[in-house]
A and B are shown apart, each in its own frame.
Chain A
Amino acid sequence: RKEVEQDPGPFNVPEGATVAFNCTYSNSASQSFFWYRQDCRKEPKLLMSVYSSGNEDGRFTAQLNRASQYISLLIRDSKLSDSATYLCVVNGGGFKTIFGAGTRLFVKA
């Protein structure tokens, strides 16, 4: 089992749709969690951190479920510019950072 698993997609959705991604992690001692966005041929950019209480930033909502060991990202009112690969990142403590393989999203007009 991979340490961090994501559905690779691709998710093809129309503009305005709501889309959700899940990510599961295997290390129950993991301490911090993030979602990054990576555009084609570009570096990953931090989208948001994920807190136990859940957090929201505009159209994006991230949640953490420690009991089930998964994190989620919800995108509301999808825009064309949301098309990218979304990377789930888990910190196991110390220097151990694990990236998921990413979920590809295509938003179409």
Chain B
Amino acid sequence: GAVVSQHPSWVICKSGTSVKIECRSLDFQATTMFWYRQFPKQSLMLMATSNEGSKATYEQGVEKDKFLINHASLTLSTLTVTSAHPEDSSFYICSARGDPTDTQYFGPGTRLTVL
């Protein structure tokens, strides 16, 4: 299957700092990328959908000014958690999908801990 990488795999930061997470499709062009968040023992929750070159579509309840998404190329999307707080600590996972398939391939995830 297709390969999606995510960086960093884990990060610990102080409250109030911003954290940037990168998601890359390594062997295909991702027309659409998705950002999910997963709290322990809970299901994946879609945060936003982004298409290359356009603004991301955020799910209800997700603050677009807090979770900045940039999908500048067909192989890279970034999620920036601005002014992170302890309640933002979670497992953030990206996925990518390329035309014409509608299969999503997931990155390995980023575990964020905000102290």
Given A97-B34, A97-B46, A100-B43: A43 and B109 within 8 A (CB)?
Answer: yes
- CB-defined contacts of B27 to chain A, threshold 8 Å: none
Closest CB of chain B to A8's CB: distance in Å? Answer: 9
Among A43, A49, A87, A95, the residue within 8 A (CB) of B57 is A95
* A44 close to B102 (CB less than 8 A): no
Give A contacts to B, CB under 8 Å. Answer: 31-32, 34, 41-46, 49, 87, 89, 91, 95, 97, 99-102
> Bound complex: CA of A24 vs CA of B69, how far in Å?
32
Given A97-B34, A99-B44: A43 and B104 within 8 A (CB)?
Answer: no
Interface of chain B residues 92 through 113 with chain A (CB within 8 A):
93, 102-109, 111
- CB-defined contacts of B32 to chain A, threshold 8 Å: 95
Give me the 10 closest cross-chain CB pairs, A-B, nearest first.
A101-B43, A43-B106, A43-B109, A95-B49, A99-B44, A44-B106, A91-B102, A43-B93, A43-B108, A32-B102
Closest CB of chain B to A90's CB: distance in Å? Answer: 11
B58 within 8 A of A: no
* A45 close to B106 (CB less than 8 A): yes
- CB-defined contacts of A43 to chain B, threshold 8 Å: 93, 106-109
B36 — nearest CB in chain A belongs to which residue? A99
